[in-house]
Structure 1
């Protein structure tokens, strides 16, 4: 084969291309590259296949985790909505119960005040009755004392005996 020489843009020296396959070790390079490709194909191919399987497995796991996370999120959102509804019902029930307790407390307070007023009136009436009775008793005692003081001077023995007989008749 021939060697072609090309000048390097007007400088000294040339650039050449040798097309002789035996002279350039082209056959040896082809054999070495072929053998390397054949040996490395199995080794690298196996490594790449394992890596591919690991990546696919990781992707499958990631998709499964995403699906599980999505399901868990939906369940959590549903649970949150239910919890919010329960909280709202509890809040409303609490307000109603607080209002009922307040009304019951007001009613009991009014009843207690009415009872105290009735007790005070009853105590006042009892005290008035006791004072009236005491005044009547004192008036009767004073009337008796006055009558006893004036009676001997107004009664003679005949009127005195008649008064005693009349008193005994009244007692029977």
Structure 2
């Protein structure tokens, strides 16, 4: 308040000098405190400063509090987002590892299946070859047996046709008796 009074007295001294300069015929300011309502203006400014400071300070404090809360919320959301990102990156890494494991397993299963198929094909070829050889051998034996039967049938036919020429009744009786004796009969 002391500063205000000092300014007021300095202002009145300056005003009186200007008034004198104005009276001499120029432009000037009126610094008479009572005439210019300088005291009223000072009171209004003081009241506005004193009461306005609390009001404006409260508004600014609330605004600052709201901004700090918003910043804290934003930082919290940022931390949560970073945590979620880290979790998702970890899940991605696990999924990639699982995909790699599945791919490796699939390749191993494919290789095993390929080897099994090749082994089965080799066995099948061997079985076909054995079956073919057996079939050829069976056909050959069948053909040989058929030829033997034909040869025997032809031989019997030939013997029968020639036996009538070589055997008479006495020779036939002698042959029959010898056959019976060989079989164990009495003659």
Q: What TM-score bracket applies, with the shorter chain setting the length?
A: 0.7 to 0.9
Aligned equivalents of 2:135, 2:26: Cα separation in 1: 141
Task: Identify if the C-alpha distance between structure 1 residues 75 and 171 changes in structure 2 by more than 3 Å, giving closer, same or farther.
Answer: farther
Counterparts of 2:122 and 2:146 in 1: how far apart (Å)? 35
Which secondary structure does the structure 2 equivalent of 1:16 belong to? Answer: coil
Q: Give the equivalent residue in structure 1 for 2:139.
A: 127
- 1:24-48: CA deviation from partner (whole Å, max 9, x where unpaired): 2211112122222333333322222
Identify the residue that residue 53 of structure 2 maps to in structure 1: 41
Match of 2:168 among 156, 163, 167: 156
C-alpha RMSD of matched pairs (Å): 2.4
Q: Measure how far apart 1:14 and its partner are.
A: 4.5
Distance 1:127 1:2, change over 3 A: same
* Equivalences for residues 34-113 of structure 1 within 5 A: 34-113=46-125
- How far has the Cα of 1:152 moved from its partner? 0.4
Q: If each structure's strand is expressed as a fraction of its own residues, which one has the higher value?
A: 1
- 1:168 CA drift (Å): 4.7
Match in the other structure for 2:18? 4
TM-score normalized by the length of structure 2? 0.78
Structure whose CA Rg is larger: 2
1:30 pairs with 42, 47, 51, which one?
A: 42
Separation of aligned partners in 1, 2:46 and 2:107: 87
The answer for the alignment partner of 1:139 in structure 2 is 151
Q: How many residues align?
A: 167
Native 8 Å contact 1:4 1:17 kept in 2: yes
User: What is the TM-score of this pair, normalised by structure 1?
Assistant: 0.84
Provide the residue aligned with 1:10 in structure 2. Answer: none
Stretch deviating more after TM superposition (108-117 or 155-164): 155-164
SS in 2 for 1:4: helix
| Structure 1 portions without partners, runs of 5+ | 8-12
Structure 2 gap segments, 5+ residues each: 1-14
Runs of 4+ displaced beyond 6 Å: none
Q: 1:103: how far off?
A: 0.7
